[in-house]
Every structure is written in structure tokens, then in C-alpha cells.
Amino acid sequence: MTNPLIQIDDEVREMTDEEYAQYLVASKDVIPVG
């Protein structure tokens, strides 16, 4: 299982495990359903 991609300026790469953990924390709200 690979982690999502992160883009830092022009560089695109797979998130490290630490970055992925931080991403999950920062993106944890509910998506509205239309």
C-alpha cells in the first residue's frame, strides 16, 4: 500500500509515513453530501 502523493513546489513524491499521519490529522472533517 502506497501513501498519497505530496507536491512541494515542483517536486511530486509519495508522502513519508510521518507526512501521511500529519495529512490525515489535517484533513479530518466531514465532506458534505449534495
Partner 1 sequence: MTRARDVASSGGLTLIKTQTIGSGVSSVTISNVFSSTYDNYRIVIGGVDCSAVTNLRLQLGSEPNEHYGSLRYDFYTGTDTNFTRNVNQAAFVIAIGGTNDDTSSSFDICSPNLAKRTTASGTFNGFAYSGWFGGGVNTTNQYTSFNLLTSGATLTGGKINVYGYRM
**Contact residues: partner 1, CB under 8 A:** 4-10, 12, 15, 19, 22-23, 25-34
CB of 10: closest distance to partner 1 in angstroms? 8
d(CA 21, CA 27): 10
CA atoms within 13 A on the CB side of 11: 4
In the complex with partner 1, the residue whose CB is nearer, 1 or 33, is 33
CB of 7: closest distance to partner 1 in angstroms? 4
Structural element, H or E, at residue 24: helix 17-26
CB of 33: closest distance to partner 1 in angstroms? 7
